[in-house]
Each structure stands twice: as C-alpha cells, then as structure tokens.
Amino acid sequence: MIVEDSLVVRRLLAHIVSRDSRLTLVAAVASAEEALRELPRVRPNVISMDIRLPGMDGLEATRRIMAEQPTPIVVIADSVEDTSLHISMNALRAGALSVVEKPVGMETGGYERIAETICTQLYIMSQVPVIRRRNMGAARPARPVRLEPVAAAQRPTLLAIAASTGGPPALAQVLGALPADFPLPVLLVQHMGGAFMEGFAAWLDGLVPLAVGVAQDGETPRPGRVYVAPGDRHLLLAPRGVLRVSGERPLASQRPSATLLFRSVAEALGPQGLGVLLTGMGEDGAVGLTELRQAGGLTITEHESTAVVYGMPAAAVRMGGSSLSLPLPLIGPRLLQLVGRPA
C-alpha cells in the first residue's frame, strides 16, 4: 500500500513498484485516514508511508497502524531538512522499520538508485514480523537476568555500538540510559541512507544526555560523546586512537560496516574494547564482534525477546561472539556497571 498525498509522486511510486516483480500494488491512497479505512480490506504486507499528509500526519498514522493492525512500514521522506526528518525519525520510534528518500522525478539524478532502494526496502521489510505497539516498554526478557559486578581491571576504554533495522529507537533507549559524563567515547554504526545520517545524529542528540555528532576523519574520540558513522562511509578506530572515516568498498554490501568498526576496535584496543550489537537484518557485525571477543573485549548482543529483527545479534551468538545477551532495557544498566557506575 502506498500512502502519499501528491498525485504526481503517488503515480511515480506506483510506477516504481509496478515494474518490480517482487512487489504487487494493492492500494494507493492520498491520506492517512483513507489508509486506515482501507487497511482491514486490502491487508498489505508492507506500507510506503509519506510523513507530510493533510489531516493526520504519517507519524500519527504509524502509531495508529502499529497499535491497531501492525504492518511493516517504510517511511518515504521528501526532505532531509530538520522538521521533516525529525518526524521521520519519530516514526521509526513509533514502529516504522526504515526511512528512504522520496523520488523527485524520472529525469533527476540518482532516480534509478532511489527507485531500486525503495523497492528493495519494501520487499525486505515485508518479511519482518511486527508486533502491536500499544506499550513501547512491554517487551519482557525471556527470564530474569542478574547483572554481576565487574572488576576494575576489566573496565573498557571505548564503546562501539551498531544496529540496522529497528536500530534508531533501540539506540535511543540504550544511549538514553547513559549520563552526560559517561566516561567512554561511543562509536556508532547505523544502517541508513546516507542523506539521513546528519539528521539522524541531530535527532539522537536531542534525545539522549550524551553529545551526538557525525564523526570526522582524524578526530580524537572523547568521553561522553557519540560519533556517528557518516552516510556511506566506514567508521574505524585507527591503532593510534584517532577516528578514521573511510570510503573503502562496502563489506557484505554494507557501508558503514559494523564488522569493520568492531574489528578496528579489536585491533586497536583488544581487551579494553567494548562492543554492543543490536537489532538488525542480516549478519553485519557478527564477525567483527566475534573478533573483538577473541581479542579479550567484552561483547553484548540484544536478546531475541526485544529485537525487532534478531538477524545480526543471532549471527553473533551463533559464531560465539556474544559474551552476554540482554534484553534492550538491561543493556544501558549493564554498560554503567562495566564502567563502575551505579546502574
């Protein structure tokens, strides 16, 4: 189902979808209200959601859909300017799975790339089993977890964290549990279209106590700051302790790559490195997290009970790369314990 108020863009999206053999268009509507009326009848596998709509906006529509008839939602964002992107990021927090650029026209630069990204995201997200989102904190661990104290000698000096599908709200929850004076620098990889990374960093900066910004090549990471991998660039920790932003080829189709981030931390810091791998489709990060654990670093994966998509954490667990698997609400407190702070 396409939800888009502009007739021109709605027809363009319909054309993009119709030429992809993986997808079938069941409805194209001009408002959120119409989408909610049509949803029980057409029962789509995935929804393309505009954010700026007349009447009810895409954010409220996402909330309603996830509460009443949970369906995978891909946000199609018409702009990367602050207001629109902020709404798009909040839609991810409300249950949407990903955000992609809206096509402007068939003659514009990058049209084919954007069209392919839209179709691929719609197809991939149609496979994600989503759950009702009446209570954002309703997910429960499979069993109680007791957090053991950590010896001072084991305390890490840097945190690397990565996520993909379902990542923005998960990252907001984990980092939101850390104080502004958290004693470690944080290096972050989130799989998202390059055009959205600066806005994502700004959105996260407004939600969590830590200072968040896009990483710059050659920076020396400082405690209490989060360094987000730039769009379509790898983020690495060089052996001399500075950040390296790299345009090297993608690894397993991913740039930024979570595996390359964790691998660089393993090589630079060994047992003083700390890695966290959250929700995400595929296996990115699993090999790198395993290498970090083999180097003596502490590694945490998100537990299946809270992960939107358990692909990336599950792969790390299978490979032996997870020191500890925790439901999302317990990861922040564990990080505080690891640095000797009360949780």
Q: Which residues are catalytic?
A: 164, 191, 284
φ and ψ at residue 41, rounded to 5 degrees: -80, -50
SS3 282: coil
DSSP 8-state secondary structure symbol assigned to residue 191: -
Q: Find the DSSP H helices in the chain.
A: 7-18, 32-42, 58-68, 82-94, 111-126, 167-176, 197-205, 258-269, 286-294, 311-319, 328-338
Structure tokens at 256: 């930024």
Report DSSP letters for 102-129, one per residue: PP--TTSTTHHHHHHHHHHHHHHHHT--
DSSP 8-state secondary structure symbol assigned to residue 251: B
DSSP 8-state secondary structure symbol assigned to residue 272: G
SS3 76: strand
SS3 100: strand
Residue 256, preceding peptide bond in cis (omega within 30° of 0):
yes
Rounded Cα distance between 235 and 288, Å, is 13
